[in-house]
């Protein structure tokens, strides 16, 4: 048996004075390491003093739940298109530029509407329910391996392995060819950070190119041998809507990359963050285990307990912390003028701890109800795979806890060190 890690070492504290100092000069392009380790004190300070914060580059940073909701609801004034922002960042015509300006999340209608409709047609409630037996089998196989080892790494050996297989199955990627997916995803999504190094640009461009090369072969194969469009997302994207407009080859390939990345990174963070939060708050973990045991023979009640827990993990440590919009028609937000061209950052992590929207927001309450968090966004750009992500989180975390109720971290977990996507890269643990 190994010595458990002290809970208080997981998320380092930040003094009020330090939070005030970071908030006063807040700049997404120059974030200090202690902010990346624990941004929430700074978010609290911004929300209380400058909820619409003007940053040095002229953009604004939003931290109130109500302001984010107003932007999400107003797609006429706030655009998700990123051509203007990403051209100087990546270089027009670069692989990263072509990918991120073509993917579903960074587009407005009509492209957004066409792609989302095709994806949602293969992610129906029935289709997701049909995935559950295979997901349980996958999770149990991973848990068997962990049990044989007596532990491992919560991220590498468990959290990241689940979405890779699920999204790989959705797109029909051969099991033996899924090895590079996680690193490609980390490199491409890592390039979405406010500032990237030349090395990150090179690695991101290389990863997009490698993914495109692989997917071209996969798409060609699917054209010859289509799958079931009600279950196989790639077949549905290839075939398009009956008597409707089809995606171009570029749109098709780039949105396959988007699906692989979005479904992988955010779900990995959900599972990893949830299990690590339970180490940080052992009394909350014990209460969850008791609540699970109390309804062990009632499948619906058991699912409800875990579903509420998953949503609270998403609220408390949102996998995706930041979103962006550009003002395309002059407007106001909470009395602040926003002229055409204004860049707006929506801080999901701050909004999800807004006391105006959540009682005791700094408390991890796994029975919180209602829980109108924004971890999946809202409006026309709400995450298309939210039901699948919730299923993965519920099955993965629930079965892990049932198998290893006494698990504990054996070394400090290593964060990804990013502002946009909040999660861990490594978290060594023992099962007992």
CB 34 within 8 A of CB 11: no
Residue 397, domain member (yes or no): yes
pLDDT at 228: 85
DSSP 381: G
pTM (predicted TM-score): 0.95
Compute the distance between CA of residue 428 and CA of residue 350 in angstroms, rounded to an integer.
Answer: 28
Peptide bond into 387 cis (omega under 30): no
Four-residue CA torsion sign, 165, 296, 278, 351: positive
Compute the distance between CA of residue 47 and CA of residue 432 in angstroms, rounded to an integer.
Answer: 41
CB 122 within 8 A of CB 230: yes
- Report the candidate in 113, 93, 380 with the shortest Cα–Cα distance to residue 250: 93
What's the burial of 57, exposed, middle or buried (CB within 10 Å: 0-12/13-18/19+)? exposed
Compute the distance between CA of residue 281 and CA of residue 414 in angstroms, rounded to an integer.
Answer: 18
Compute the distance between CA of residue 397 and CA of residue 272 in angstroms, rounded to an integer.
Answer: 9
39-68 per-position pLDDT tens digit: 999 999 999 999 999 999 999 999 999 999
pLDDT at 42: 98
Q: How far is CA 344 from the centre of its chain?
A: 19
Compute the distance between CA of residue 336 and CA of residue 331 in angstroms, rounded to an integer.
Answer: 8
pLDDT at 398: 98
Show the CA angle centred on residue 384, arms to residues 311 and 220, nearest 5°. Answer: 135
Q: Which residues pair with 429 in a beta bridge?
A: 152, 409
pLDDT at 243: 65
The count of structural domains within the chain is 1
pLDDT at 242: 59
Looking from the CA of 160 toward its CB, the CA atoms found within 13 Å total: 22
Residue 136, domain member (yes or no): yes
User: DSSP 3-state assignment of 30?
Assistant: coil
Count of Cβ atoms closer than 10 Å to residue 27 Cβ: 15
Boundaries of domain holding 265: 7-430
Compute the distance between CA of residue 257 and CA of residue 213 in angstroms, rounded to an integer.
Answer: 11
Q: Are strands 414-415 and 424-426 parallel, antiparallel or unpaired?
A: antiparallel
Count of Cβ atoms closer than 10 Å to residue 242 Cβ: 6
Residue 2, domain member (yes or no): no
Q: Are strands 428-430 and 408-409 parallel, antiparallel or unpaired?
A: antiparallel
Residue 129, domain member (yes or no): yes
Compute the distance between CA of residue 23 and CA of residue 32 in angstroms, rounded to an integer.
Answer: 11
CB 59 within 8 A of CB 345: yes
Residue 112: partners with Cβ closer than 8 Å, 6 or more residues away? 80, 104, 380, 381
Compute the distance between CA of residue 94 and CA of residue 73 in angstroms, rounded to an integer.
Answer: 32
pLDDT at 73: 97
Q: Which residues of the chain fall below pLDDT 50?
A: none
CB 55 within 8 A of CB 22: no
310-347 per-position pLDDT tens digit: 999 999 999 999 999 999 999 999 999 999 999 999 99
CATH number of the domain to which 265 belongs:
1.10.630.10
pLDDT at 236: 85
User: DSSP 3-state assignment of 98?
Assistant: helix
Compute the distance between CA of residue 238 and CA of residue 395 in angstroms, rounded to an integer.
Answer: 30
Residue 111: partners with Cβ closer than 8 Å, 6 or more residues away? 102, 251
Compute the distance between CA of residue 287 and CA of residue 278 in angstroms, rounded to an integer.
Answer: 10
Query: What mean pLDDT is reported for the chain?
Result: 94
Compute the distance between CA of residue 374 and CA of residue 323 in angstroms, rounded to an integer.
Answer: 11
């Amino acid at each position: 048996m190994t010595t458990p890690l002290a809970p208080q070492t997981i998320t380092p504290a930040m003094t009020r004075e330090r939070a005030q100092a970071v908030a006063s000069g807040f700049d997404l392009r120059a974030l200090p390491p202690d902010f990346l380790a624990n941004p929430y004190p700074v978010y609290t300070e911004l929300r209380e003093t400058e909820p619409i914060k003007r940053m040095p580059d002229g953009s604004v940073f939003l931290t109130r739940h109500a302001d984010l909701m107003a932007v999400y609801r107003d797609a006429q004034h706030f655009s998700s298109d990123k051509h203007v922002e990403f051209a100087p960042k990546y270089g027009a015509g670069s692989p990263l530029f072509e990918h991120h300006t073509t993917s579903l999340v960074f587009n407005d209608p009509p492209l957004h509407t066409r792609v989302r409709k095709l994806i949602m047609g293969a992610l129906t409630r029935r289709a997701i329910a049909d995935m559950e037996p295979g997901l349980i089998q996958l999770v149990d196989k991973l848990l068997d391996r962990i049990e044989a080892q007596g532990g491992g790494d919560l991220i590498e050996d468990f959290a990241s392995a689940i979405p890779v297989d699920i999204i790989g199955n959705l797109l029909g990627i051969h099991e033996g060819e899924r090895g590079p997916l996680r690193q490609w995803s980390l490199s491409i999504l890592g390039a979405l950070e406010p500032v990237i190094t030349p090395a990150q640009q090179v690695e991101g461009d290389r990863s997009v190119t490698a993914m495109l090369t692989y997917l071209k072969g996969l798409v060609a194969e699917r054209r010859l041998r289509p799958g079931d469009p009600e279950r196989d997302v790639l077949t549905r994207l290839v075939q398009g809507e009956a008597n409707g407009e089809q995606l171009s080859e570029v749109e098709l390939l780039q949105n396959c990359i988007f699906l692989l990345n979005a479904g992988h990174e955010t779900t990995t963070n959900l599972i990893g963050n949830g299990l690590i939060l339970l180490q940080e708050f052992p009394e909350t973990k014990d209460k969850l285990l008791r609540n699970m045991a109390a309804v062990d023979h009632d499948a619906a009640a058991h699912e409800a307990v875990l579903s509420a827990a998953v949503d609270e993990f998403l609220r408390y440590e949102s996998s995706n912390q930041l979103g962006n919009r550009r003002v395309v028609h002059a407007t106001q937000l909470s009395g602040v003028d926003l002229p055409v061209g204004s860049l707006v950052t929506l801080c999901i992590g701050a909004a999800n701890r807004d006391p105006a929207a959540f009682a005791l927001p700094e408390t991890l309450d796994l029975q919180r109800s209602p829980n109108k968090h924004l971890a999946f966004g809202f409006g026309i750009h709400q995450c298309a795979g939210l039901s699948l992500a919730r299923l993965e989180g519920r099955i993965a975390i629930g079965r892990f806890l049932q198998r290893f109720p006494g698990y504990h971290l054996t070394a400090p977990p290593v964060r990804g060190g990013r502002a946009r996507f909040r999660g861990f890269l490594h978290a060594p643990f023992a099962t007992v």
